[in-house]
Structure 1
Amino acid sequence: MSVDTAAVETANQEFYSAIEEADLDRMTDIWAHDTEDLRVSCVHPGWPMLSGRGEVLRSWALIMANTPYIQFVLTDVNVAVFGDVAVLTCAENILTAGDEGDSSFAAGKVVASNTFVKTSEGWRLWMHHGSPVLHGDDDDDQEEPG
Structure 2
Amino acid sequence: MTDPRAKVTQAVLLTTADETEASFYDAMQHADLDRMMQAWADDEDIACVHPGGPRVVGTAAVRAGFEAVFANGPVHIGIEHVRRMETAVCAVHHVTEKVQAMGPDGQMQTAFVMATNVYLRTSQGWRMVAHHASPGLAQDLPDITEPRGVLH
Q: Give the 3-state SS of the residue equivalent to 2:53 in structure 1.
A: coil
Q: Residue 3 of structure 1 aligns with which residue?
A: none
Query: C-alpha offsets along residues 72-113 of structure 1, whole Å, 9 cap, x if unaligned?
Result: 12111011112311101100011112214xx42111010000
Q: How high is the TM-score relative to the length of structure 2?
A: 0.76
Higher radius of gyration, 1 or 2: 2
Pair 88,117 (structure 1): closer, same or farther in 2 beyond 3 Å: same
Q: Residue 45 of structure 1 aligns with which residue?
A: 51
CA distance in 1, matches of 2:97, 2:57: 22
Gaps of 5+ in 2: 1-14, 147-152
Q: Residue 99 of structure 1 aligns with which residue?
A: 104
Q: Residue 72 of structure 1 aligns with which residue?
A: 77
Which has the larger share of strand?
Answer: 1
Pick from 38, 41, 65: which aligns with 1:29? Answer: 38
CA distance in 1, matches of 2:38, 2:125: 10
Instruction: State whether residues 69 and 97 of structure 1, in contact with CA within 8 Å, keep that contact through their aligned partners in structure 2.
Output: no
Q: Residue 114 of structure 1 aligns with which residue?
A: 117
Which has the larger share of helix?
Answer: 1
Q: Give the 3-state SS of the residue equivalent to 1:132 in structure 2.
A: coil
Q: How high is the TM-score relative to the length of structure 1?
A: 0.79
What value does the CA root-mean-square deviation take over the aligned residues? 2.2
CA distance in 1, matches of 2:84, 2:52: 25
Q: How does 1:119-134 map to 2 (within 5 A)?
A: 119-134=122-137
Q: Residue 16 of structure 2 aligns with which residue?
A: 7
Number of positions where the alignment pairs a residue of Structure 1 with one of Structure 2: 128
Post-superposition offset of 1:133: 4.3
- Find out whether 1:81 has 2:90 as its counterpart: no
Letter matched to residue 114 of structure 1: N
Post-superposition offset of 1:12: 0.5
CA distance in 2, matches of 1:69, 1:10: 20
Letter matched to residue 91 of structure 1: T
Q: Residue 3 of structure 2 aligns with which residue?
A: none
Pair 104,73 (structure 1): closer, same or farther in 2 beyond 3 Å: same
Gaps of 5+ in 1: 1-5
Q: Percent identity?
A: 31
